[in-house]
Structure formats: C-alpha cells, structure tokens
Amino acid sequence: MYRFLLLLPFLVAGCATVDCGSDWFAIGQRDGRINAGSQAERYAVKCTGIDTARYGEGYARDSPAPDAVLVDRL
C-alpha cells in the first residue's frame, strides 16, 4: 500500500501532461477523432512551436461534421 502512495503523484502527473509533439497534423487528427474539441489554444500556452495551421488541418480532417447528429441504434 505504501508503494502505491509513493507512486501516486507520478501517476497523476503523467496523466496531466500535454502532448507537445512535433507532428501537429497527427495531434490534430487524434483530437478530432476522439471528438475532444480543438485544443489549439491549450497547446499554444503549454508548447513552443505549435503549428496551428497544420493542427487545424488534421483536426478538420477527422472531426465529426458540426451538424452531425449522433443517434444510438436500438
């Protein structure tokens, strides 16, 4: 139990990190695919050298259409 408590801060910190990769198109695709909403402003604050144009292209490619309606099949 004590080992877990010692590791807990590292596990929480690992989950809170921002992905500051170099392939902004792929990061935008990932955010669009999981429907996370555009995270460009968040990345701009946390990361240096963000290419917002490439991020936006990747995000637009894999994000759902703004007027798409998600319907559960019965």
pLDDT tens for each residue of 23-34? 999 999 999 999
pLDDT at 8: 53
In 3D space, the residue among 68, 43, 67 whose CA is nearest the CA of residue 54 turns out to be 43
> From residue 17, how far is each of 10, 42, 43, 62, 67 by CA, in Å?
11, 11, 11, 23, 31
For the chain, what is the domain count?
Answer: 1
Query: Cβ neighbours of residue 27 under 8 Å, at least 6 residues apart?
Result: 19, 21, 43, 55, 58
Say if 33 falls within a structural domain. yes
- Kindly tell me if the per-residue pLDDT of 21 is higher than 60: yes
Say if 30 falls within a structural domain. yes
Say if 58 falls within a structural domain. yes
Say if 10 falls within a structural domain. no
Say if 12 falls within a structural domain. no
Q: Left if phi > 0, otherwise alpha if psi is -120 to 50, otherwise beta: which for 37?
A: left
pLDDT tens-digit map of 48-64: 889 999 999 999 988 87
- What's the domain range around 39? 19-64
